[in-house]
Amino acid sequence: MPSVSMVVNGRQVSGEVEGRTLLVEFLREQLRMTGTHVGCDTSQCGACVVHVNGESVKSCSIFAMAASGAEVATIEGVANADGTLSVLQQAFQDHHGLQCGFCTPGMVMSAADLLKINPNPSETEVREWLEGNICRCTGYHNIVKAILSAAATLRGEAVAAE
Amino acid sequence: MAKDEVSASAVGAPMKRREDVRFLTGKGSYTDDMNRPGQSYVVFLRSSVAHGVIRTLDVEAAKASEGVLAVYTHRDIEADGLGGVPCGWEITQSDGSKMVEPAHPILASGKVRHVGDPVVAVIAETKAQARDAAEKITLEIDALPAVVDMRSAETAGAAVHDEAPNNVCYDWDFGDKEKTEAGFAQAAHVTTLEFTNNRLIANAMEPRACIGEHDAAGDRYTLITTSQNPHVIRLLMGAFVLNIPEHRLRVLAPDVGGGFGSKIYHYAEEALVTWASKKVGRPVKWTADRSESFISDAHGRDHVTKAELAMDAEGKFLALRADTMANMGSYLSTFAPCVPTWLHATLLAGQYTTPAIHCRVRAMFTNTVPVDAYRGAGRPEATYLLERIINKAAAELGLDQAEIRRRNFIRPDQFPYETPVALTYDTGDYLATLARVMTMADYAGFEARRQEAAGRGKLRGLGLSCYIEACGIAPSSLVGALGARAGLYEAATVRVNPTGSVSVFTGSHSHGQGHETTFAQVVADQLGIPADSIEIVHGDTDRIAFGMGTYGSRSLAVGGSAIVGAIEKIVAKAKRIAAHLMEASVDDIVFEDGQFKVAGTDKAKAFAEVSLAAYVPHQYPIEELEPGLEETSFYDPKNFTYPAGSYLCEVEVDPDTGVIDIVGMWAADDFGKVINPMIVEGQVHGGLAQGLGQAFIEQCVYDANGQLPSGSYMDYAMPRADDLPSFAVETDLVGTPCTHNPLGVKGCGEAGAIGSPPALVNAVVDALKPYGVQHMDMPLTPQKVWTAIDAATPKMAAE
Ligand code: FES
Ligand code: FES
């Protein structure tokens, strides 16, 4: 089997994969990093979103080999260095932006990319950006609130307590 | 305890969820995240044909395939004498006979009955190897005509099961038929509505998964599974399928990624991995692909109904009659038979004083995936029936949609109110929730908004829906009389540890509801200790005494009440210990703010001092009291709980495209006492999204051959963030606390999914009023809306 190596959350990793092994399978099965989830087999749900070279990617839609040599960031690497929640993660908790938690890693990774590209999104822009992330629990209301609130915090604005 | 700790966790405070941190950092522990040493993988070969006889089944090449450990067919299941998948509810038909209850084999035997029916289980070292091997199986099926449309199932000329030649599972009726007919005889006006309640797929984001493991040394099995009720699975699978006694079977339901009903049931895959783990001597893991979930998870709803409402000249309801066909699919799933009957017909009084109600239900077998409870289960169907027919009646009588309801509401002074369909509502205030939602939505200002929209070429509509639901299922003696093969109590153990921390073991299961937080709030409140020192344990049959699990919005009302019951026993015992420590009479001990005090003195012992004495009983009434401080309580509810509310939905329809824009969704709910409003509102949001999804985009579609074209997220329209509006939800009404459980809570998990579909459809029908549209079946897709407008346009132009 061919081997593949990449940097995941700042750590150099490598492993043996088949040509058909997906990036998400490599993360979950080989690296046992199970924070990244699989919710579908048609690249629709977004539970598997990670960052590859700084951009959000559905990790079920690329082969592990295709990420060879890449910098990959997953939900396990999002918290602050001291273990506390990042601004975005904290906003999800503060605004009850998760229930069962299954879509959450993908939501957070996807939203992080949005806020990098667009630090001041409108509600409509947030909702449109999340088109590729399905949540069955929250009705999105609180996810949208969480992302807008995190955006404000990151811009340095005071956010009204919830 | 510091003051802020009290306030953050107090009952009624929006305490942040403690479970969030693990989910937000990728440290959740879902079934597929778990791996057992030496684990193997199973892949199922499923029928690609809806109905047929297996002619050839050759698995030899698969057995020889690389990495394969075992290949099983029905023959192996039969050889080991396993039972089939059991059904948990038996319906007695109108003629007194029992429903038809065909066998539900774990792997198809002789015949396949739906696309997705599992035929072969292939177990290999890796999932990829199992999949490769499955492709080497020769499976030839002689197709039979598929029974797909239940409306023609009786005359389809093919039987899904030989035992039911006309494909009728049961023909059942409920209510007073004569009295109902008498009501119709007196009526000044009768409104009729024929409609379908569209078939849905729950689609929890975590696909089902399970791992079976057998410990040969102790002959003990462990099943890790994506379940809402691990004890129920232990009971059903152990007793009816695998013949494993409880003490040799542990069922774990760890973090579960949503359920919505679909993870209540005992599924064939669970039994197979458990059984096979012993046969192959290795743990066996199965994880559904989403495509597999679509054809193997129980589906929901799927009713076809004709309803008639008799009224006097003032729009006062005299009688209601309903005739429903309900799709059971190909086999009877765990709770399937009770959904269109006892969870549907009994709700047909709604919030109204209709004096006579009669409902007939015929349940049909079809060559489709089994249908069972999905968020709301029977109650959304009942609510949709009522709230749609009432709006149609209002339109026919020229009455305002709020006014016709007001004329028929059960008044606050009529509680407890006995309906003609067996339920006794303990409490409610329907005028209050209606008034509240009308204020929230600026009901009075709607006509101006309609005008303004018309100026922009848009059709604006406002739809009302007033739901009631029966939660907290239910008194065991009652459900037993109605055909349930289980009791529906809940169990809890409260263990006060020596240093005063508390472990709570609950039979309820959390798969998104936030029990770890809400239950901790309840316990903190009752014991006057910080929420931080309380852990909530769920989802493990080895650690928890017993449990019936989480569904039907029952966890707080039934499971929470069991916790309160255990706490009461704890406090009673602790008072006796405290009395001994302080040399006082137990009658003089009061427990408040986490302190045991001698009334009228300044003597007090902290909770932790008493708990320590219980475990270090040096100074202890040992003659009369056992050491330790741990109590278990089983709570059997005295009645259902009856949350109710009023919802308004406002839409704008684009007449050129038929696209519906939901511009407002307001919900005023009376859930009784609310422990954590943040979580409760979140539950309503999720329910609204699912209910609106049903109403305007979601539809499970089978074609005439029983194939499922809507079998992926490309074809089944899951609501996305940009399909939905922000919601306005208010649950902080003073409300009417439940009168028969100790917390006064009613349950909130399903309300949104129950109340919102008719609100949206009523809004769209209201918007299309100028076109003479009286009804449209869900989902209201742009095509359907556009077609309705287009069909009416020439007529309008001619007028
Ligand atoms: S797993 Fe669903 S999009 Fe990747
Ligand atoms: S929180 Fe459950 S799917 Fe989003």
Check residue A63 and report its DSSP letter.
Answer: B
Do A65 and A117 share a domain, yes or no? no
* Contact between A39 and B718 using a beta-carbon 8 Å cutoff: no
Span from the CA of A59 to the centroid of ligand 1 (angstroms): 7
Distance (Å) of CA B700 to CA B263, B291, B308: 18, 13, 27
Q: What is the mean pLDDT of chain B?
A: 95
Which positions in chain B touch A9 (Cβ < 8 Å)?
none
DSSP SS3 for B451: helix
Do B629 and B643 share a domain, yes or no? no
CA distance B393 to chain A (A): 32
Q: Residue B362, CB half-sphere, CA atoms under 13 Å: how many?
A: 17
Do B597 and B663 share a domain, yes or no? no
- pLDDT score at A162: 44
Specify the CATH number for the domain of residue B117: 3.90.1170.50
Per-residue pLDDT, averaged over B133-147, amounts to: 97
The enclosing H or E element of B309 equals strand B303-311
What residues make up the domain containing A115?
Answer: 87-154
* Contact between B25 and A37 using a beta-carbon 8 Å cutoff: no
Q: Domain tally for chain B?
A: 3
- Summarised one tens digit per residue, pLDDT across range B464-510 is 999 999 998 888 888 888 888 888 899 999 999 999 999 999 999 99
Q: Say yes or no: CB of residue A22 within 6 Å of ligand 1.
A: no
End position of a domain, from candidates B635, B665, B698:
B635
- Strand partners for B634: B491
Do A18 and A65 share a domain, yes or no? yes
Do B717 and B730 share a domain, yes or no? yes
Q: Which of B17, B22, B23 to mutate to test the interface with A (most CBs of A within 10 A)?
A: B23
The preferred substitution site among A25, A36, A48 for testing ligand 1, maximizing ligand atoms within 8 Å of CB, is A48
The enclosing H or E element of B299 equals strand B299-300
On the 0-12 / 13-18 / 19+ scale of CB atoms within 10 A, B179 is middle
- pLDDT score at B478: 87
In a domain, B160, yes or no: no
Which positions in chain B touch A149 (Cβ < 8 Å)?
none
| pLDDT band, residue B427 (cuts 50/70/90) | very high
Do B348 and B360 share a domain, yes or no? yes
- Summarised one tens digit per residue, pLDDT across range B332-365 is 999 999 999 999 999 999 999 999 999 999 999 9
Specify the CATH number for the domain of residue A143: 1.10.150.120
Return the CA Rg of chain B: 28
- Summarised one tens digit per residue, pLDDT across range B694-722 is 999 999 999 999 999 999 999 999 999 99
- Strand partners for A35: none
Do A12 and A65 share a domain, yes or no? yes
Count of CB pairs separated by less than 8 Å, A with B: 183
Q: Say yes or no: CB of residue A137 within 6 Å of ligand 2.
A: yes
- Summarised one tens digit per residue, pLDDT across range B737-774 is 999 999 999 999 999 999 999 999 999 999 999 999 99
Do B498 and B545 share a domain, yes or no? yes
Do the Cβ atoms of B561 and B743 come closer than 8 Å? yes
Do the Cβ atoms of B435 and B648 come closer than 8 Å? no
Do A115 and A70 share a domain, yes or no? no
Q: Which of B24, B289, B724 is nearest residue A89 as measured by Cβ atoms?
A: B24
The residue whose C-alpha atom lies closest to atom 4 belonging to ligand 2 is A135
| pLDDT band, residue B1 (cuts 50/70/90) | very low
Do A43 and A24 share a domain, yes or no? yes
Span from the CA of B205 to the centroid of ligand 2 (angstroms): 7
Do the Cβ atoms of B264 and B232 come closer than 8 Å? yes
Task: Please name the residues in contact with B585: beta carbons below 8 A apart, sequence gap of 6 or more.
Answer: B579
- pLDDT score at A160: 53
- Strand partners for B504: B494, B536
Q: Which of A42, A142, A143 is nearest residue B712 as measured by Cβ atoms?
A: A42
CA distance B713 to chain A (A): 6
Do B702 and B775 share a domain, yes or no? yes
Do B331 and B422 share a domain, yes or no? yes
| pLDDT band, residue B16 (cuts 50/70/90) | very high
Question: Which ranges of chain A have pLDDT less than 50?
Answer: 161-162
- Summarised one tens digit per residue, pLDDT across range B617-653 is 999 999 999 999 999 999 999 999 999 999 999 999 9
B679 CB near a chain A CB, below 8 Å? yes
| pLDDT band, residue B398 (cuts 50/70/90) | very high
One-letter amino acid for residue B588 of the chain: D
Span from the CA of B368 to the centroid of ligand 1 (angstroms): 26
Task: Please name the residues in contact with B378: beta carbons below 8 A apart, sequence gap of 6 or more.
Answer: B338, B339, B340, B341, B342, B343, B344, B347
- pLDDT score at B734: 63
CA distance B790 to B793: 5
One-letter amino acid for residue B729 of the chain: V
B132 CB near a chain A CB, below 8 Å? no
- pLDDT score at A157: 82
Do A94 and A54 share a domain, yes or no? no
CA distance A47 to chain B (A): 8
Do B225 and B115 share a domain, yes or no? yes
Q: Say yes or no: CB of residue A101 within 6 Å of ligand 2.
A: yes
CA distance B24 to chain A (A): 6
| pLDDT band, residue B799 (cuts 50/70/90) | low
What does residue B496 show for φ and ψ, rounded to 5 degrees? -90, 120
Do A25 and A56 share a domain, yes or no? yes
In a domain, B347, yes or no: yes
What residues make up the domain containing B534?
Answer: 3-27+489-635
End position of a domain, from candidates A36, A57, A77:
A77
Do the Cβ atoms of A140 and A103 come closer than 8 Å? no
Specify the CATH number for the domain of residue B594: 3.30.365.10
Chain-centre distance of CA A141, in angstroms? 18
CA distance B317 to B429: 19
* Contact between B682 and A138 using a beta-carbon 8 Å cutoff: yes
- pLDDT score at A159: 62
% chain B with pLDDT above 90: 92
CA distance A83 to chain B (A): 9
What does residue A65 show for φ and ψ, rounded to 5 degrees? -60, -35
Q: Domain tally for chain A?
A: 2
DSSP SS3 for B221: strand
Tell which B residues from 135 to 154 touch A, by Cβ distance under 8 Å. none
Ligand with the closest atom to the CA of A23: 1
End position of a domain, from candidates A30, A49, A77:
A77
Span from the CA of A60 to the centroid of ligand 1 (angstroms): 5
Specify the CATH number for the domain of residue A35: 3.10.20.30
- pLDDT score at B3: 43
Do B133 and B231 share a domain, yes or no? yes
Do A46 and A95 share a domain, yes or no? no
CA-based nearest residue to B106, from B69, B130, B79, B125: B79
Do B648 and B777 share a domain, yes or no? yes
B33 CB near a chain A CB, below 8 Å? yes
* Contact between B686 and A93 using a beta-carbon 8 Å cutoff: no
* Contact between B25 and A35 using a beta-carbon 8 Å cutoff: yes
In a domain, B169, yes or no: no
Q: Say yes or no: CB of residue B721 within 6 Å of ligand 2.
A: no
Q: Say yes or no: CB of residue A134 within 6 Å of ligand 2.
A: no
In a domain, B738, yes or no: yes
Q: Which long-range contacts (CB under 8 A, 24 or more apart) does B35-39 make?
A: B35/A32, B35/B285, B36/B211, B36/B213, B36/B283, B36/B285, B37/B283, B38/B282, B38/B283, B39/B211, B39/B282, B39/B283, B39/B284, B39/B285
Which positions in chain A touch B714 (Cβ < 8 Å)?
42, 44
- Strand partners for B83: none
In a domain, B54, yes or no: yes
What does residue B673 show for φ and ψ, rounded to 5 degrees? -75, 135
Q: Say yes or no: CB of residue A96 within 6 Å of ligand 2.
A: no
- Strand partners for B325: B304, B362
CA-based nearest residue to A143, from A109, A100, A102, A111: A111
Span from the CA of A133 to the centroid of ligand 2 (angstroms): 10
In a domain, B154, yes or no: no
- pLDDT score at B570: 96
* Contact between A98 and B713 using a beta-carbon 8 Å cutoff: no
Q: Say yes or no: CB of residue A38 within 6 Å of ligand 1.
A: yes
Residue B428 has pLDDT above 50, yes or no: yes
CA-based nearest residue to B791, from B776, B779, B356: B776
Which positions in chain B touch A124 (Cβ < 8 Å)?
722
In a domain, A161, yes or no: no
Span from the CA of B283 to the centroid of ligand 1 (angstroms): 27
Do the Cβ atoms of B229 and B551 come closer than 8 Å? yes
In a domain, B657, yes or no: yes
B39 CB near a chain A CB, below 8 Å? no
- Summarised one tens digit per residue, pLDDT across range B105-128 is 999 999 999 999 999 999 999 999
CA distance B72 to B83: 15
B585 CB near a chain A CB, below 8 Å? no
Q: Say yes or no: CB of residue A39 within 6 Å of ligand 1.
A: yes
Ligand with the closest atom to the CA of A40: 1
Q: Say yes or no: CB of residue A103 within 6 Å of ligand 2.
A: yes
- pLDDT score at B480: 87
* Contact between A100 and B206 using a beta-carbon 8 Å cutoff: yes
Do B631 and B644 share a domain, yes or no? no
Span from the CA of B31 to the centroid of ligand 2 (angstroms): 16
Do the Cβ atoms of A54 and A117 come closer than 8 Å? no
Q: Say yes or no: CB of residue A114 within 6 Å of ligand 1.
A: no
- pLDDT score at A161: 46
Q: Which of B128, B255, B712 is nearest residue A101 as measured by Cβ atoms?
A: B255
Regarding beta strands A71-73 and A3-8, do their DSSP bridges make them parallel or antiparallel, or are they unpaired? parallel
The residue whose C-alpha atom lies closest to atom 1 belonging to ligand 1 is A38
* Contact between A37 and B206 using a beta-carbon 8 Å cutoff: yes
Do B20 and B39 share a domain, yes or no? no
- pLDDT score at A25: 97
CA distance B531 to chain A (A): 17
Span from the CA of B273 to the centroid of ligand 2 (angstroms): 27
* Contact between B721 and A103 using a beta-carbon 8 Å cutoff: no
CA distance B669 to chain A (A): 17
- pLDDT score at B395: 97
* Nearest atom, ligand 2, residue A143 CA: 4
Do A71 and A101 share a domain, yes or no? no
